[in-house]
Amino acid sequence: MHTYLIPIFIAIVIITLILGKPYWREYKRSKVKKRVFTKPWREILQRRMPYFRNMPAHLQLQLKQHIQVFIAEKRFIGINGVQINDEIKVTIAAQACLLLLNRKTDYYPKLRTILIYPRAFTKQHSTMHANGTEESQQLAMAGESWGYGKVVLSWQDTVEGARDVKDGHNVVIHEFAHQLDQEDGHANGAPILGKDQNYQTWSSVLSQGFEKLQREAHYNSPSIFDYYGATNPAEFFAVASEVFFEKSRELHREEPKLYEQLSIFYRVDPVSW
């Protein structure tokens, strides 16, 4: 081969690899989806995820296929003595993939690793006051979503959140809603919307819900949302996502516009389940 052709050949190879990577990834995913969803996994799904029992058959099939891809592509790491097994993988994957139904998905493309603690873990948090002093405190955390490839979960809270599907609290839904929000690089309560939604309407509806929750939190008024959602728009979106799946009827009745926006975004209508 002539010397001047070598760079051209290398460039062609690189371009071919880059262009072919998405097709190869989808091919591998299609193979994974065709695998048998084993009986032990079905038993875990039935036992750990009550949502599953009420979902339409076509969504159940989708969810099982998504679970298979998610587990094949993500790395699970146990912390402080947690031994990773299929119980942990299927339980977490099922709840995370609930947010991916009926859409073209890249399975949380930035996420590589899920870290699992046995129970709530602590995190050092610093607050800078107006007078220039800094206050540090230890916070107990049930979960955390990082913008660079990790989600951290408490196994105890994961199980408890999945067990009661009517309490509006689910740490996996919460943290993976953050992952969707972070796909555009910013956790700001404005995830990447589909073509059938516009950001102006989304912003208007969610801002109204956020401001209302801030007032309810300030006056300690009853709310279907956890007051933690009043922290900032990103937390409101995550808390609203928990309520959308777990208190869908209450949300539909009390905040129909917010329910509509979340239903369009998540492409499901849990009120009908």
Q: Phi-psi category of 31—alpha, beta or left, where left has phi over 0 and alpha has psi -120 to 50?
A: alpha
Q: Please report whether residue 224 resides in a domain.
A: yes
pLDDT at residue 154 greater than cutoff 50: yes
Same-domain pairing of 54 and 164: yes
Same domain, 151 and 197: no
40 and 89 share one domain? yes
The answer to whether residue 14 scores a pLDDT higher than 70 is no
Q: Is the pLDDT of residue 134 over 80?
A: no
Of 151, 186, 221, which residue constitutes the final position of a domain? 186
Per-residue tokens: 9? 């050949």
pLDDT bin (cut points 50, 70, 90) of residue 4 is low
- Residue with more model confidence, 134 or 121: 121
pLDDT value for 131: 61
Is pLDDT of 1 > 60? no
Which of the listed residues 153, 186, 219 is the one where a domain comes to its end? Answer: 186
Cβ contact 245:173 at 8 Å: yes
- The total of other beta-carbon atoms located within 10 Å of residue 161's CB is 24
Quick: pLDDT tens for 98-126.
999 999 999 999 999 999 999 999 886 65
93 located within any domain:
yes
Same domain membership, residue 217 and residue 83: no
- pLDDT for residue 186: 86
The predicted model gives 7-33 an average pLDDT of: 67
Which has the higher per-residue pLDDT, 127 or 48?
A: 48
142 & 153 share domain: yes
Q: Which domain holds residue 139?
A: 36-186
Greater confidence, 71 or 15?
Answer: 71
205 found inside a domain: yes
Judged against a pLDDT cut of 60, whether residue 17 lies above it is answered with: no
Domain co-membership, 172 together with 68: yes
Q: Report CA-CA distances (Å) from 224 to 148, 162, 271.
A: 31, 18, 16
Q: What mean pLDDT is predicted for residues 207-233?
A: 97
Instruction: Kindly state whether residues 270 and 158 are assigned to the same domain.
Output: no
Boundary of a domain, candidates 166, 186, 206: 186
Q: What whole-number distance in Å separates Cα of residue 94 and Cα of residue 8?
A: 46
Task: Identify whether residues 62 and 169 lie together within a single domain.
Answer: yes
Q: Are residues 105 and 87 in the same domain?
A: yes
In this predicted model, which residue has the larger pLDDT, 136 or 267? 267
The maximal CA–CA distance of the chain, rounded, in angstroms, is 78
Q: Does residue 80 lie in a domain region?
A: yes
Q: State pTM to two decimals.
A: 0.88
Domains in the chain, number: 2
CATH number (domain holding residue 249)? 3.40.390.10
Quote the pLDDT of residue 22.
76
